[in-house]
């Protein structure tokens, strides 16, 4: 039994079709300048021999390399730190694929800062991944980049009406609905008020989660009453303060849905009110902190997104688009993770197995 290797080269196809390598290449890559009849012969040969292009050889011969900018938030938000780490890992991986990432950190709460960053982005970038703010100036900047041929993907937070090529992130309304379903079911028919603590409802992802949550609670759990959202700006101290006020004002509060970050502050507020055990609390993002609150029982469920998956996906999508390769759509769908006490992954939650081999992964901004 011979070992069928399956190895069929373009050369074989050319021979079979009785044309030269160059012509076979033109046909296979749909380049112009080949007679119908010749093309047909080549296509026949492709089918007959079961030819599949060798991606490694194609990449090598094309000899193109790419440069991408990743624009991430400044600050100490734990999830964003994970994301930054994972972008580093992705950069190391991409470097082996002739693609190079520069990471820039900006204040994403400020549309002008992020808009300006995009507007001034050096032209040598083939692609950019940006944790965006849905604002006209940002949208315009994205559209301009797209117009000049730079591939733009939005990361974690989308700008739906822009001309961005792709959005890498979870379906936030669905995440909110999931939180709503869990909240309603965990409360098992109990009657009471639900508090909402968001970072800022001006952030599209927060607003969308709130929307989805509301939808489910209003539609399926009429005994629950959602209070007006309070904003903690994703900061620990401020989140603690607003949560404290919420708890003091509504002694009959049965649940809290934390839409954004600042969960350490919320935990403090809940604990100092002595409500750890009975108050139902659902939050976003699995970090070292939410993980602990989940184990302690203060936090009842976490809705998560996988930072590693998001970073890799952004890198893959940019690379594929710039180099004209196909992606596997299923692989680029970022799922909503749900964590309860039973399925908390082993420490450290999604920590990065960084292996950068002496490479400076994060170049500075303007270089």
Partner DNA sequence: GTGAAAGCGCTAACAC
Partner DNA sequence: GTGTTAGCGCTTTCAC
d(CA 79, CA 310): 12
Nearest in space to 104 (alpha carbons), one of 116, 95, 93, 92? 116
Distance between CA atoms of residues 107 and 105, nearest Å: 7
Which residues pair with residue 129 across a beta bridge? 70, 153
Q: Does 46 bind DNA (CB under 7 A)?
A: no
Q: Please, which residue, 2 or 228, has the CB nearer to DNA?
A: 2
Q: Name the residue nearer to its own copies (CB basis): 98 or 116.
A: 98
- Of the listed pieces 127-135, 249-257, 265-273, 343-351, which binds its own copies according to CB under 8 A? 343-351
- Which of 329, 337, 333 lies closest to 79, judged by CA? 337
* Whole-angstrom distance, CA of residue 123 vs CA of residue 84: 23
Q: Which of residues 41-80 bind its own copies (CB under 8 A)?
A: 46-47, 50, 52-57, 59-60, 65, 67
Least Cα distance to 142 among 340, 49, 157 occurs for 157
Which residues make beta-bridge pairs with 198?
Answer: 231
Q: Pattern of binders to its own copies over 305-324, x per CB under 8 A?
A: -x-xx--x------------
Question: From the list DNA, its own copies, none, which binds 4 (C-beta under 5 to 8 Å, kind-based)?
Answer: its own copies
Considering the complex, state which of residue 291 and residue 312 has its C-beta at the smaller distance from its own copies: 312
Q: Is the peptide bond before 348 cis (omega within 30 degrees of 0)?
A: yes
Q: Which of 7, 123, 326, 357 binds DNA (CB under 7 A)?
A: 7
Q: Does position 100 bind its own copies by CB under 8 A? A: yes
The site partner of 182 among its own copies, DNA, none (C-beta below 5 to 8 Å per kind) is: its own copies
Pattern 25-44, DNA, x by CB under 7 A: xx-xx---xxx-xxx-----
307-323 and 78-95 helices cross at what angle (nearest 10)? Answer: 40
Least CB distance to its own copies at residue 124 (A)? 4
> By CB under 7 A, is residue 156 in contact with DNA?
no
**Segment lying near its own copies (by CB under 8 A), choices 30-38, 90-98, 139-147, 269-277:** 90-98
State how far the Cα of 185 lies from the Cα of 214, in Å rounded to an integer.
14
Specify the residue, 39 or 138, whose C-beta has the smaller distance to its own copies. Answer: 39
Beta carbon of residue 38, minimum distance to DNA (angstroms, whole number): 4
20 touches DNA by CB under 7 A: yes
Name the one range near its own copies by CB under 8 A: 14-22, 112-120, 229-237, 353-361: 353-361
209 binding partner (options its own copies, DNA, none; Cβ < 5 to 8 Å by kind): none
Closest by Cα among 273, 296, 280 to 188: 280
Asked if 326 interacts with DNA (CB under 7 A), we say: no
CA dist 56 → 64, 89, 362 (Å) = 13, 22, 26
Q: Which stretch binds DNA (CB under 7 A): 60-68, 69-77, 108-116, 290-298?
A: 60-68
Distance from C-alpha of 330 to C-alpha of 313, rounded to nearest angstrom: 11
Judged by CB under 7 A, the number of residues near DNA is 29
> Which one of 22-30, 133-141, 162-170, 351-359 is the stretch in contact with DNA (CB under 7 A)?
22-30
Query: What secondary structure does DSSP assign to 162-229, as a single string?
Result: S--SEEES--HHHHHHHHHHHHHHHHTT--EEEEEEES-TTSHHHHHHHHHHHHHHHHH-TTEEEPPP
Rounded to the nearest angstrom, the gap between the alpha carbon of residue 160 and the centroid of all alpha carbons in its chain is 14
Rounded to an integer, what is the distance from CA 165 to the centroid of its chain? 14
- For 190, how many CA atoms within 13 A lie in the half-sphere containing its CB? 16
- Comparison of 55 and 340: residue with beta carbon closer to DNA: 55
234 to 273: interface string for its own copies, x by CB under 8 A:
----------------------------------------
Residues that bind DNA (CB under 7 A): 7, 9-11, 18-23, 25-26, 28-29, 33-35, 37-39, 51, 53-54, 57-58, 60-63
């Amino acid at each position: 039994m011979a070992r069928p290797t399956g190895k069929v080269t373009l050369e074989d196809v050319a021979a079979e079709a009785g044309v030269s390598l160059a012509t076979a290449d033109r046909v296979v890559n749909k380049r112009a300048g080949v007679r119908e009849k010749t093309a047909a012969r080549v296509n026949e040969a492709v089918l007959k021999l079961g030819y599949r292009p060798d991606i490694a050889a194609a990449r090598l011969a094309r000899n193109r390399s790419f440069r991408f900018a990743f624009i991430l938030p400044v600050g100490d938000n734990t999830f964003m730190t994970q994301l930054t780490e994972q972008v580093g890992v992705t950069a190391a991986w991409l470097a082996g694929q002739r693609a190079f990432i520069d990471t820039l950190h900006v204040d994403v709460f400020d549309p002008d800062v992020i808009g300006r960053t995009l507007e001034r982005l050096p032209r040598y970038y083939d692609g950019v991944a940006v944790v965006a703010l849905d604002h006209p100036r940002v949208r315009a900047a994205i559209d301009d980049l797209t117009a000049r041929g730079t591939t733009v993907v939005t990361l974690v937070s989308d700008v739906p009406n822009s001309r961005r090529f792709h959005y890498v992130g979870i379906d936030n309304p669905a995440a909110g609905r999931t939180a709503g379903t869990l909240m309603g079911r965990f409360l098992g028919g109990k009657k009471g008020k639900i508090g909402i603590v968001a970072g800022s409802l001006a952030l599209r992802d927060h607003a969308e989660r709130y929307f989805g949550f509301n939808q489910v609670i209003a539609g399926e759990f009429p005994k629950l009453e959602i209070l007006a959202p309070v904003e903690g700006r994703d900061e620990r101290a401020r989140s603690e303060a607003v949560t404290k006020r919420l708890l003091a004002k509504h002694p009959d509060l049965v649940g809290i849905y934390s839409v954004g970050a600042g969960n350490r502050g919320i935990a403090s507020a809940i604990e100092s009110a002595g409500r750890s055990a009975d108050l139902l609390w659902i939050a976003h993002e699995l970090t070292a902190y939410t993980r602990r609150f989940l184990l302690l029982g203060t936090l009842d469920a976490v809705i998560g997104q996988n930072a590693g998956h998001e970073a890799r996906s952004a890198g893959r999508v940019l690379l594929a688009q710039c180099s004209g390769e196909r992606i596997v759509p299923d692989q680029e769908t970022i799922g909503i993770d749900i964590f309860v006490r039973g399925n908390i992954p082993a420490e450290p939650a999604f920590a990065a197995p960084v292996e950068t081999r002496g490479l400076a992964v994060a170049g500075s901004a303007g270089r």
